[in-house]
Amino acid sequence: MTDIFTEVRNVSKRFSAKPDFAEKLAIKLGAASTPPVVHALDGVDLQVRRGEVVGLVGESGCGKSTLGRIIAGMLPPTEGEVYVEGAERSQLRGQAARHARLNTQIIFQDPMSSLNPRKRVVDIVGEAPVAHGLIRRGEKQAYVENLLQTVGLDPSMADRYPHQFSGGQRQRIGIARALAVKPEFLICDESIAALDISIQAQVINLFMDLRRQLDLTYLFISHDLSVVNHIADRVVIMYLGRIVEEGSADQIFDGPNHPYTAALLSEVPRIDRRHRTFQTIKGEIPSPMNPPPGCHFHPRCPFAFDRCRAERPALRTLADGRRSACHLNDLDQRPNFSVTEQARENSL
Ligand SMILES: Nc1ncnc2c1ncn2[C@@H]1O[C@H](COP(=O)(O)OP(=O)(O)OP(=O)(O)O)[C@@H](O)[C@H]1O
């Protein structure tokens, strides 16, 4: 059995954007010939190893959900390949394709919109395992009650409807539904973002308990670095459709290599406030319909130089094992924006 659960190789995804009024007019007048294209992902390479928790972080619109959906098999990539347990996903057929589909489950932010309000929890959670022949219909009630217990809900609630639950409880129902088909890999796409802070901590604890109990692998998608700080073994930072840095959680939090990672960290409210000395990110994230040339981050980067404006930096493995895509790594004298011990002491 391979150590790598899933891998994406050189994956790009482009969407045709819906043209606005001015763009429709330009197409009609012949000044533009095609609707604008959104470059949601641009040459992404990523591996998720069996049993690890990978945090995928970046600002809204950088392509996190698109990558999650492609890994889950819900969207095809425009270019590149997705491997699941060693096999290229688009080549899988029949039983193998079904296994891959069930083995990776995705949990979204808003459980209410994905829970049918007219169905009881026993049917919401129990439908898929019956349909896929994992359990017999007669076993459904006991199976669902057992799952509700696993996710911290009272089994006697199985006959209730979604509206009879709180937001946190509904997210637990969503988790039970995902677990019902016995996946090994969970993709949590902003799964706690809509919950109150105190409930967020409870749901994170549940995810981590489930990891131990069920040997799960996770891709944890969040726009908030402080969320993945608590749970991720490895953190992947995305900016405008590309991975800019990837490393162990300690590497990322204690000494970011990429200026974008450092800027994101400066915005994280931290108890030790170590990273607040870095200036916050300037300017708006550019449009993925018209990404800047060279390094996508250069218009907002305080350290950008000519090469950053012209040439895309490769995502390279550095001496400490992390990957980073930044031309600063090729300079003899890299600007030091990681926080000095003195600054740490001053800000503590
Ligand atoms: N089906 C689609 N059609 C057109 N554009 C899309 C589609 N899905 C996503 N996009 C665009 O692709 C880009 C990446 O979107 P994506 O949802 O993956 O980003 P994200 O980082 O998950 O952001 P958020 O946290 O706001 O969801 C955005 O510009 C988005 O508008």
pLDDT tens-digit series, residues 191-229: 888 888 888 899 999 999 999 999 999 999 998 888 888
Ligand 1 environment, Cβ below 6 A: 15, 17, 38, 40, 58, 60-66, 223, 288
Just give the CATH number of 233-348. Answer: 3.40.50.300
For residues 67 and 207, give the distance between their C-alpha atoms in angstroms, rounded to a whole number: 21
The predicted structure's pLDDT at residue 57:
95
Q: Is the pLDDT of residue 49 over 50?
A: yes
Nearest atom, ligand 1, residue 287 CA: 29
Residue located nearest, by CA, to atom 11 of ligand 1: 40
- For the residues 90-95, what does the mean pLDDT come to? 93
Q: Which atom of ligand 1 is nearest to the CA of 69?
A: 18
- H-type helices in 115-183, by residue range? 121-131, 140-150, 167-179
CA-closest residue to ligand 1 atom 7: 15
pLDDT higher at 339 or 221: 221
Instruction: Say how many Å lie between the CA of residue 40 and the centre of ligand 1.
Output: 6
Where in the chain are the domains?
233-348
pLDDT at 267 over 80: no
Q: Which atom of ligand 1 is nearest to the CA of 67?
A: 18
Q: How many angstroms is it from 63 CA to the middle of ligand 1?
A: 6
CA angle 333, 336, 338 (to 5 degrees): 150
Q: Taking the CB of residue 94, how many other CB atoms lie within 10 A of it?
A: 7
pLDDT band for position 154 (50/70/90)? very high
pLDDT computed for residue 268 by the predictor:
61
Count of CB atoms situated within 10 Å of the CB of 341: 7
Least confident segment among 234-243, 268-277, 300-309? 268-277
% of the chain with per-residue pLDDT over 90: 69
* Residue identifier of the C-alpha nearest atom 3 of ligand 1: 15
Whose C-alpha lies nearest to ligand 1, atom 26? 60
Q: Does residue 339 register a pLDDT over 50?
A: no
Count the alpha carbons within 13 Å of 178 in the hemisphere toward its beta carbon: 28
- pLDDT tens-digit readout, 109-121: 877 788 899 999 9
Asked whether residue 280 carries a pLDDT value surpassing 80, the answer given is no
Whether residue 338 has pLDDT greater than 70:
no
- Give tens-digit pLDDT for 17-33: 777 787 778 777 877 77
| Res 278 pLDDT > 70 | no
Residue 7: pLDDT over 70: yes
Q: Is 43 exposed, middle or buried (0-12, 13-18, 19+ CB in 10 A)?
A: middle
Which atom number of ligand 1 is nearest to the Cα of residue 289? 29
- 66 CA to centre of ligand 1 in angstroms: 6
